Structure 1
């Protein structure tokens, strides 16, 4: 019976891992839809960097730092003894694979915030540093049984802090260090200039994939196919995402403003981020409340980041950073066994606050230091000319969309002797696609 349970658990963890890795497709589509068309290939290639270099960095170094032999509750030994198996007798290979999927998600959070102006080579180094060193260190604090936050009793079931707050505040630091995109904040009064997303339906498809994969992210963290909480975790995940999107829509309607599709997408993602820590520890009603708050917080957090003149093309800081903190603190409020609102106890709330602040500060400061080191050594920002042209052509030598060029090629081959008059509407479409502006 024990062997059969381990086999079922292994199968469940591998399935959940596949769902989490599939989320990288969601990140790719979401970011490609949010950025201008001339940078769509570049953001997609950065996700491939996460999947390749991020995987190898965590496999070679990060897993040891995160789950290796403990040193003072702060870090694991790179060359220390490693466990023979994962939790509950799970094969170590299955557990390692699941943790790799989590690690590359941290890097993908960062990729959107630095989109459209970061050197491709610099992003490769950032991914290696984040997945190989920075994330595993703070992850050790929370998810290693000997980590200092774990010993205090911090609860972060699937990573509102360990994954999202860490990645979100690292993204904040690097976006601040890079500076805004050209003409993003301009004019004498430094007013904002909005860059319209190139393809909102594409971004929506990315959000749907992320939403789907989140069931593997949260429910898969049980590491057990027989865990009695599986259905509750999945339901809480779904309810929080729905509530997040709903409260964002309502906020715009109440303020009598056009409902921003991009913000609604981020509202649902914010609900997913916020429930990730407590999906196994709170009631369904609490999940809805957490989602409702997240959908409002993402609007104010986005406005706050813009007021600081920090350019985050996809809203990663607001979605992952701020709502990662919210979700962590919410466990201290709504935890069935020790929440302040549910039981009147305060200790867990204080531990959750401490953990969220510590990891957010670590994410910001460590990423800023790493980015500064790269800035003074290899450089982190593309040239103004490359940025103006677009990173797709400047770095990869290929544009995302070729419909107009292909059409022109057909005309040239089939009717070489006919001189056609310029087609203004086609030209406008091409400019619109390349610059990501509204038609």
Structure 2
């Protein structure tokens, strides 16, 4: 995500003629008035505005995550899902402001762990210098912070989908805060903060590993310790617990796809027209290839036209293209998305065989497809070493997985992470929040409604 490297890689691998790529640093000017009167200011305004628009688009992705997770889980747990997603977004914004931003971008540090101090980190006495951080280009530090904060919250939101339906809300909050405050910004600093992996040449444009892989592997550690939902695996059989509202999940996926154009397009770190449009094209191609391939593979393997797999295929394709959206060709973007969709299908099946219950397929979509997307850059881009991509992926995801095992395990064996059987049967909406997402949910005209304790959720 370092802008200077972004320009270099794009020129090498895509042959795009970059327009207006010279960095504008507000610190070249002594006063705001001088900067505003300069010829550089107009470009600064446009680039800064694009970063803010991109941040807003990534913000909308959190509505997408909440909708996907709600739709693909049982109706008795929807309030719980919504509550977790609101908490992660709001706490993530605050935690990233207090400590996360300054851990992830500490300035000069040993390459493994640094801390620039509490707060966002600007000198309010200098109205010019705080316009741009040392590593950035045409944006204020405020724009940089809010864009990055949306990414941080995304990583923790992924975990919510993995553990839905059986985790204590308070314990999820504790784990989410610790993931946001330490794990995500530390691993992010190794690459985007100019750390040791960046020095080695590891490349992850917008976060196939650094965002999605971190969320996916944190979620994997959690579900290993948390256990499956009741009735999911019985007598050696894998039971289907269907989502209660596929149209809602569909809305969520399209919201995520829309926001992903800001997720990837904003990672250009400027409004450069050639680069942003190129990233948009690769993003759309990767998503489309991921979904179509997931449809085909699902039909060949299980002989079903499964809409949830088609939806998750879109997301897996997006994750697969995110690491290299700026440097892959449209053809290799299609291959990357297609392989991501394929990996997602097999990943879901593999986890079920291992009796690891992931209700929305988040580990496969974000974790497994995230690995592939990062390695794909080393496969398809000549100047990025595959061995470096492999090492970086193992380092980031290994650290995340171990961190999550230790932290979630400590919570499990001291405070407890699992709700009671009764609470799980009734649903977390009633048990944890005292309210249902739907009026008269338990019975409508004397009939049981799927997803409640009266109905069999497996049929």
> Does TM, scored on the shorter chain, surpass 0.5?
yes
Matches of 2:359 and 2:451 in 1, distance apart? 20
The number of equivalent residue pairs is 410
Matches of 1:89 and 1:219 in 2, distance apart? 15
Paired residue for 2:291? 245
1:216 aligns with 2:254: no
Report the CA distance between 1:380 and its aligned residue: 1.3
* Partner-residue secondary structure (3-state), 1:75: coil
1:120 aligns with 2:169: yes
Residues 438 and 122 of structure 1, relative CA distance in 2, 3 Å threshold:
closer
| TM-score in terms of structure 2 length | 0.85
Paired residue for 1:356? 393
Paired residue for 2:338? 292
Paired residue for 2:184? 135
Report the CA distance between 1:321 and its aligned residue: 0.3
1:155 aligns with 2:238: no
* Partner-residue secondary structure (3-state), 1:116: coil
Moved over 4 A (4+): 80-83, 430-439
Report the CA distance between 1:436 and its aligned residue: 8.4
**Between Structure 1 and Structure 2, which shows a larger proportion of helix residues?**
1
Out of 391, 406, 417, the position equivalent to 1:380 is 417
- Once the two structures are superposed, residues 385-406 of structure 1 have per-residue CA deviations (whole angstroms, 9 ceiling, x without a partner) of 111110000111111111567x
Paired residues of 2:76 and 2:452 also in contact (CA < 8 A): no
Moved more, 55-64 or 169-178: 55-64
Moved more, 269-278 or 220-229: 220-229
Report the CA distance between 1:48 and its aligned residue: 0.4
1:194 aligns with 2:240: yes
Residues 286 and 434 of structure 1, relative CA distance in 2, 3 Å threshold:
farther
* Partner-residue secondary structure (3-state), 1:142: coil
Matches of 1:168 and 1:6 in 2, distance apart? 36
The 5 A counterparts of 1:253-402 are 253-255=299-301, 257-335=303-381, 337-338=382-383, 348-402=385-439
Matches of 2:306 and 2:397 in 1, distance apart? 28
Paired residues of 1:166 and 1:362 also in contact (CA < 8 A): no
- Once the two structures are superposed, residues 297-330 of structure 1 have per-residue CA deviations (whole angstroms, 9 ceiling, x without a partner) of 1111111111221110000100000010000000
Moved more, 34-43 or 72-81: 72-81
Paired residue for 2:51? 13
Report the CA distance between 1:53 and its aligned residue: 1.4
Matches of 1:433 and 1:393 in 2, distance apart? 11
Matches of 1:209 and 1:280 in 2, distance apart? 22
1:46 aligns with 2:66: no
Report the CA distance between 1:227 and its aligned residue: 4.9
Paired residue for 1:428? 448
Report the CA distance between 1:90 and its aligned residue: 1.6
1:204 aligns with 2:250: yes
Report the CA distance between 1:437 and its aligned residue: 4.2
Paired residues of 1:37 and 1:436 also in contact (CA < 8 A): no
Residues 191 and 271 of structure 1, relative CA distance in 2, 3 Å threshold:
same
Out of 276, 293, 297, the position equivalent to 1:230 is 276
Structure 2 unaligned spans of 5+ = 1-38, 123-129
Paired residues of 1:13 and 1:220 also in contact (CA < 8 A): yes
Structure 1 unaligned spans of 5+ = 340-347, 409-422
Q: CA RMSD in A?
A: 2.0
Paired residue for 1:36? 74
Paired residues of 1:302 and 1:318 also in contact (CA < 8 A): yes
- Once the two structures are superposed, residues 128-185 of structure 1 have per-residue CA deviations (whole angstroms, 9 ceiling, x without a partner) of 111111100000011012x000000111110001001111101000111111111211
| TM-score in terms of structure 1 length | 0.89
Paired residues of 1:106 and 1:135 also in contact (CA < 8 A): yes
Matches of 2:170 and 2:302 in 1, distance apart? 44
